[in-house]
Amino acid sequence: MSNELQSSVQYIKSVGPKRAESFKEIGISSIRDLLFYFPTRYLDRRTIINSVKATKYLLDGYEGEVTILGKVVDSETIRYGKKQLFKVSMKDAAGFYECVWFQGVKFFKDKFKPGEQYAISAKPVITKYGNLQFAHPDFDKLDSEESREFLNTGKIIPFYRLPKELKAKNIGELSLRKIISYAVNQYAQFLTETLPDKIVNEQELLNITEAVKTMHSPPNHDALLLAKNRFIFEELFFIECLVALRKHSFKNNIIGIPFKVSANPIKQFLSNLPFELTRSQLKVLSEIRTDMESGKPMSRMLQGDVGSGKTVVAIIAMIIAAENGCQAALMAPTEILANQHFNNITNLLNESGLKVNLLIGGQKKSEKAKNLNEIKLKESDIIVGTHALFEDTVDFNKLGLVIIDEQHRFGVEQRFRLMKKGTSPDVLVMTATPIPRTLSMTVYGDLDLSIIDEMPKNRLPINTTLRSEGNLPDIYQFIKDKIKDGYQSFVVYPLVEESAKLELKAAEEYFEKLKNTFFSDINVGLIHGRMKWKEKEEVMLKFAAKEFDVLISTTVIEVGIDIPDANIIVINDAFRFGLSQLHQLRGRVGRSDKQAYCILISNKPVKKQKGLFENNFEYMSKAQIEKYKSQIRMQAMAEYSSGFDLAEIDLKLRGPGDIFGTKQSGMPELKYADLARDSEILIEAKKCAFGIIEKDVKLNSSANQLIKEQLKKYYTEQLKYSFIG
């Protein structure tokens, strides 16, 4: 990079040392940093029209957005019934118009003082009184110099985020725009390409200088799109390089265990099951089998919606490993789930002669020591546990297969730690959280994918409804009425997270209250996160044995738990939960041939908002999505049963930066790309990156030096999981 770009922003006209400090606080030290401070949005001066023209357009049937520039005349809050709206009357040189807000009245009240100038953008309507009206428009306050600029330059004007650190140094919208514009004009020419020229040409991308210039002052929308696409492509390209590197780092060169599969033990196991495997289960089994037989280590993700029957598939894989004289480990995210798997597998493998051990954090010292010893001496064949499995004290003896259940609860880091306990063991990660295609190409791109896309035959769709707290007495009655049909129920109680003590108290109070009122004549159990695992185990076993009709619980039951007769789940304060969490909770029921019910309770109004969700969800603005998030989630739950659909909606609800959920994914945060929007670019970037890495895994060729350099510079953390790291 040339020196000019590395110099401090203080040398930019009208910055200076003091302001440079504020820039530094928001992460902009060098001139290069400033060049990459892109506008968050743009105002298209070319669509600015006056109010008379706007009215005429509307009468001619125009339905798009327009921008109008004018002054505030006055504003008022109007009450109608219980509601209120906020109305601002405005005028421009041609005439009058109005802006109205039905929500957030408090927030808008203090803005829009008479005489202030605003640019207003929205789809206008003509009211029944003949007024030109903008409902919930985008707006920008302008000073007089700015409005002159708007009116006189026929350009698309950039808007930059203006952090308080800059405001504090008297930098306003306009001056920031000027500072950046100066920097771009003087310095963008010195930017050096960060992508190999070959890629820039092949992909028909704007070169870096062009792209940066265009981001700050796009001549038109098409050019802007091209510039944005360049940065999106670049970001996704480097991510796909990481994915490809990760994939190759344990596929190539490493020799895995070629397992031999003999039919008898598997047949015997299957004959003990009370059901036949679905076609989907058989299909994924044969994929897993092929992997296990091959000399390369398996790294496969098994994806199947909640209740699709992943566990039996895992057990069969473990039987194969054990029959080959290897140990197999199954890691679950919670002690309850590990314990359930342990009991389940012990029962199913009763006649097989294989030994199953449990290893979790809460075990007694002596018990743990005994388990550790048996693992070390290879008395145990199958080891089920929590993250306790990859502690240093655990000394596996020929660990040949690692299975991770509910893998979204674990990070890549943990997957690698458990893998390191063996010498290139086969790895199978299982998840009920369906991974949208774009994510399976990125975060999980190093894994081959097997999908169970079919539920066991006997299942009915879960009946999901939204109710308010006022309905609870009826719901409790419903729960009691259903007991005679053999139904058990989960009641998930509102979360209290402030402190362990408070949570405990809340859980117990809630339990006591129900036991003394609605549920005084039935058996009720309680389970929560503050219990020791033995206590939890006891409660779960009792519930499975039908000693309770109702289990009051926190979200400790969220993942994996399988109680076939529990067919009603009531989720209190449902709006607090994320979509995937709600889907997981709902997945606790509907695991048999009986009709199951999921009842979401919310104290917010759950009345269906017409048009909010059904068709035009995709066209809602970010602000609207933010505002109605919990509502959309609840409605989505009621309308969709497939985890895959819900995951796609979830992806749209979360901001692009938040896509990978947590830092756990071992993937960088996205700055430019939005996986929900940019799947086509992603596919291109992937092709391109994989093509390069497949030919040159270590990025040694001279043509690939730039790529290596960039990766090392910006993705050090992520390179840990690959060769060049």
Are 401 and 326 in contact, with CB atoms under 8 Å apart?
Answer: yes
CB 220, min distance to Mg ion, A = 52
Question: H or E stretch including 327?
Answer: strand 327-331
Rounded to a whole number of angstroms, the minimum distance from the CB of residue 570 to ligand ADP is: 20
Stretch that binds ligand ADP, among 258-266, 271-279, 373-381, 702-710 (CB under 6 A): 271-279
Contact stretch for ligand ADP (CB under 6 A) within 307-315, 598-606, 684-692, 711-719 = 307-315
Minimum distance from residue 282 beta carbon to ligand ADP (Å): 9
Residue 214 binding partner per list ligand ADP, Mg ion, none, with a CB distance cut-off of 5 to 8 Å that depends on partner kind: none
The answer to whether residue 400 forms part of the interface with ligand ADP (CB under 6 A) is: no
Regarding 434 and contact with ligand ADP (CB under 6 A), the answer is no
Can you tell me which of 121, 229, 249, 278 binds ligand ADP, judged by CB under 6 A?
278
Taking CB under 6 A as the criterion, the residue among 22, 29, 121, 308 binding ligand ADP is 308
By the rule CB under 6 A, 408 interacts with ligand ADP: no
Contacting residue, 137, 307, 643, 666, with ligand ADP by CB under 6 A: 307
Cα(134)–Cα(526) distance, rounded to whole angstroms? Answer: 53
Verify binding: residue 277, ligand ADP, rule CB under 6 A. yes
Q: Among the residues of 349-403, which ranges form H helices?
A: 365-376
Eight-state DSSP code of residue 710? H
Q: Which is nearer to Mg ion, 434 or 560 (CB)?
A: 560
- In the bound state with Mg ion, the residue whose beta carbon lies nearer, of 405 and 426, is 405
Please give the Cα distance from 216 to 39 (Å, whole number): 7
Q: Which is nearer to ligand ADP, 230 or 594 (CB)?
A: 594
Positive or negative, the Cα torsion across 338, 340, 344, 349?
A: positive
The count of residues in the chain is: 725
Given 70, 256, 265, 456, the residue binding ligand ADP (CB under 6 A): 456
Task: From residue 549, give the alpha-carbon distance in Å to each of 463, 489, 502, 560.
Answer: 20, 6, 26, 20
| Shortest Å, Cβ 452 to ligand ADP | 7
Cβ proximity to Mg ion: between 311 and 424 the closer is 311
Q: Collect all residues with Cβ–Cβ distance below 8 Å to 70 and sequence separation of at least 6.
A: 51, 90, 91, 92, 97, 117, 118, 120
Stretch that binds ligand ADP, among 146-154, 197-205, 272-280, 710-718 (CB under 6 A): 272-280
Identify which of residues 525 and 560 has a Cβ nearer to Mg ion in the complex. 560
Strand (E) or helix (H) holding 486: none
Q: Does 306 bind ligand ADP (CB under 6 A)?
A: yes
The site partner of 591 among Mg ion, ligand ADP, none (C-beta below 5 to 8 Å per kind) is: ligand ADP
What is the torsional sign of CA 472, 473, 475, 476? Answer: positive
Minimum distance of ligand ADP from residue 485's CB (angstroms): 19
For 550-614, the DSSP string reads EEEE-GGG-SS---TTEEEEEETTGGGS-HHHHHHHHTTS--SSS--EEEEEESS--PPPTTTST
Amino acid at 420: K
From the list 99, 101, 102, the residue with the least C-alpha distance to 89 is 99
The number of angstroms, rounded, from the C-alpha of 547 to the middle of its chain's C-alpha atoms is 38
- Pairwise CA distance, residues 394 & 384, whole Å: 12
DSSP state of 13: T
341 binds ligand ADP (CB under 6 A): no
Q: Which does 275 bind (CB under 5 to 8 A by kind): ligand ADP, Mg ion, none?
A: ligand ADP
What is the smallest separation between the CB atom of 136 and ligand ADP, expressed in angstroms? 42
> By C-beta, is 158 or 456 nearer to ligand ADP?
456
Residues within window 556-595 making contact with ligand ADP, judged by CB under 6 A: 560, 562, 564, 591
Given Mg ion, ligand ADP, none, residue 415, with its beta carbon under 5 to 8 Å by kind, binds none
Of 256 and 560, which has the nearer Cβ to Mg ion?
560
Q: How far is CA 548 from the centre of its chain?
A: 35
Nearer CB in complex with ligand ADP: 454/696 = 454
Identify which of residues 218 and 590 has a Cβ nearer to ligand ADP in the complex: 590
Smallest gap from residue 419 Cβ to ligand ADP (A): 22
Q: Are the CB atoms for 528 and 556 separated by under 8 Å?
A: yes
# residues contacting ligand ADP (CB under 6 A) = 18
CA nearest neighbour of 419 among 246, 289, 264: 246
Minimum distance of ligand ADP from residue 283's CB (angstroms): 12
Which is nearer to ligand ADP, 286 or 616 (by Cβ)? 286
Cβ proximity to ligand ADP, 311 vs 334, nearer residue: 311
CB-based contacts of 466, cutoff 8 Å, min separation 6: 574, 600, 602, 606, 634, 635, 637, 638
641 binds, among ligand ADP, Mg ion, none (CB under 5 to 8 A by kind): none
297 or 560: CB nearest Mg ion: 560
Nearer to Mg ion by Cβ, of 319 and 688: the residue is 319
Binding of residue 275 to ligand ADP (CB under 6 A): yes
Q: Which residue is nearest to ligand ADP (CB)?
A: 309
Contact 652, 618 (CB under 8 A): yes
Kindly state whether residue 266 participates in binding ligand ADP, applying the rule CB under 6 A: no
Residues that bind Mg ion (CB under 5 A): 560
Q: What is the DSSP letter of 616?
A: T
Nearest to 191 by CA among 216, 171, 166: 216
Please report how close the Cβ of residue 587 comes to ligand ADP at its closest, in angstroms. 6
Calpha distance 439→652 (Å, rounded):
13
Give me the sign of the Cα torsion angle 128, 132, 138, 139: negative
Closest approach, Cβ 407 to Mg ion, in A, equals 11
Residue with Cβ nearer Mg ion (447 or 685): 447
Q: How near is the Cβ of 256 to ligand ADP at its closest, in Å? A: 25
435 binds ligand ADP (CB under 6 A): no
User: Is 158 one of the binding residues for ligand ADP (CB under 6 A)?
Assistant: no
How far apart, in whole angstroms, are the C-alpha atoms of residue 469 and residue 403?
A: 41
Q: Which does 309 bind (CB under 5 to 8 A by kind): Mg ion, ligand ADP, none?
A: ligand ADP
> Both tokens of residue 673?
């790309």
Q: Can you tell me the distance from the alpha carbon of 54 to that of 239, in angstroms, rounded to the nearest whole number?
A: 45
Residue 312 binding ligand ADP, by CB under 6 A: yes
Of 120 and 582, which has the nearer Cβ to ligand ADP?
Answer: 582
Q: How far is the CB of 363 from ligand ADP (least distance, A)?
A: 23
Smallest gap from residue 565 Cβ to Mg ion (A): 17
Question: Is 333 a residue that touches ligand ADP (CB under 6 A)?
Answer: no
309 near ligand ADP, rule: CB under 6 A: yes
Q: Report the site for ligand ADP in 286-305 (rule: CB under 6 A).
A: 304
C-alpha distances in Å from residue 352, one per residue of 338, 345, 370: 20, 11, 22
What angle in degrees, to the nearest 10, is found between the helix axes of 221-249 and 705-714?
A: 90
Closer residue to ligand ADP, CB minimum distance, 564 or 668: 564
Classify strands 382-385 and 356-359 as parallel, antiparallel or unpaired.
parallel
| 700 contacts 723 by C-beta, under 8 angstroms | no
**428: which strand partners?**
300, 403
Pick between residue 362 and residue 564 the one whose CB is nearest to ligand ADP.
Answer: 564
| Residue of 310, 409, 586, 588 that binds ligand ADP (CB under 6 A) | 310
- 3-state class of 724 per DSSP? coil
For the chain, the 3-state helix, strand and coil shares in percent, each to the nearest 5, are: 45, 15, 40
What residues make contact with ligand ADP under the rule CB under 6 A?
275, 277-278, 281, 304, 306-312, 432, 456, 560, 562, 564, 591
